[in-house]
Amino acid sequence: MKFTYIALAAVSCTALVACGGNKNATPATDPTPAPAPAAVSDSGKVSLDSAVDRYSYALGMDLGKAIANISVPLKLDVIISAIRDEVDSGRTVLMTDSASEVALQDLLLKMQQKKEADEKAAAKKALDEQAAFLAKNITDSTVKVTTKGVQYKVIKDGAGAMPKVGDKVQVHYIGSLLDGTEFDNSVKRGEPLEFPVSAVIEGWQDLLQVMKEGMKVKAWIPSALAYGEAGVPPMIPANALLVFEVELLKVYTETPAVDTTAVAPAAPADAAKTGEVTSVEPAAPETAKPAEPAKPAKEEKKPAKGKKK
């Protein structure tokens, strides 16, 4: 219920009264004759031929919408009588302005209390309905359930990667309530949605991690894994079981960065004793020793020949 609408209606009426004066004010001289009452046809319908007729009917429509949105009992004949008392200088208003204000404040309080009671009853009803549905739905042999309680049925299998919480995905989806009311549809928009797995409701996170790239499923997400008692007004009411068709188009896997500054741990001191191999290291290349330089051959000394005498 929109309290602001009632407030706007009240402001509109106040503004009209302010512009037109009040019953006790002296009317300004107006040479224009007063408009004749709106003609009523034989069928009982009011004629809207003149502008005044249309203004009057439009104002009545606005007031009627405001009254129709009030959830506590009201009497239309008393409302009409009060309007006549206010606009007709020959009639007597039965309440003072202060008494009227007190009554309207009490009305707003009753409306708020009724609204809260209705919402509480609707939330309990939704919780009971989803519990009954899930209990029956799980008896279908084609329906599977995740570890956290999301029920799903495979429409089309996939053979690609399975996303993890740290990954990003691209999906097409259609979201609706248990009664079939659709609240979101990426297929109609013609544009798939990309987001980190960790950025969505818990039920979606749980569902995505059992899907493979290329897979399409129909899933039923309990309100406890979605928006709970708060809901997302006005689209998603409190304790709403959400029904999704989800197609996992692409998985973008987050590859952890390699820390090039990390130092490999040293091998345990007793590794040599136990013979345990803790790491494989390349063998140190053997250092070739330089060849010794060849020793010069010894010259054989021949005796000097004597001179002939």
- Residues 173, 206, 221, 236: which is the catalytic one? 173
Annotated active-site residue 55? The verdict is no
CA dist list (Å): 5 to 10, 13, 68, 75, 259: 9, 12, 11, 19, 61
Helical segments of 138-240, H only: 186-189, 202-208
- Residues 6, 206, 221, 244: which is the catalytic one? 244
Amino acid letter, 202: E
CA dist list (Å): 56 to 7, 50, 83, 156: 20, 10, 13, 59
Annotated active-site residue 244? The verdict is yes
Give the end-to-end CA distance of the chain in Å, rounded to a whole number: 154
Annotated active-site residue 252? The verdict is no
Annotated active-site residue 236? The verdict is no
Annotated active-site residue 201? The verdict is yes
- Residues 6, 152, 221, 227: which is the catalytic one? 227
Which residue in 218, 215, 210 sits closest to 244, CA to CA?
218
- Residues 184, 206, 221, 252: which is the catalytic one? 184
Annotated active-site residue 227? The verdict is yes
Cα dihedral sign, 252-256-257-258: negative
- Residues 183, 221, 236, 252: which is the catalytic one? 183
- Residues 53, 62, 201, 252: which is the catalytic one? 201
Would you please indicate which residues are annotated as catalytic (active-site) residues? Answer: 173, 183-184, 201, 227, 244
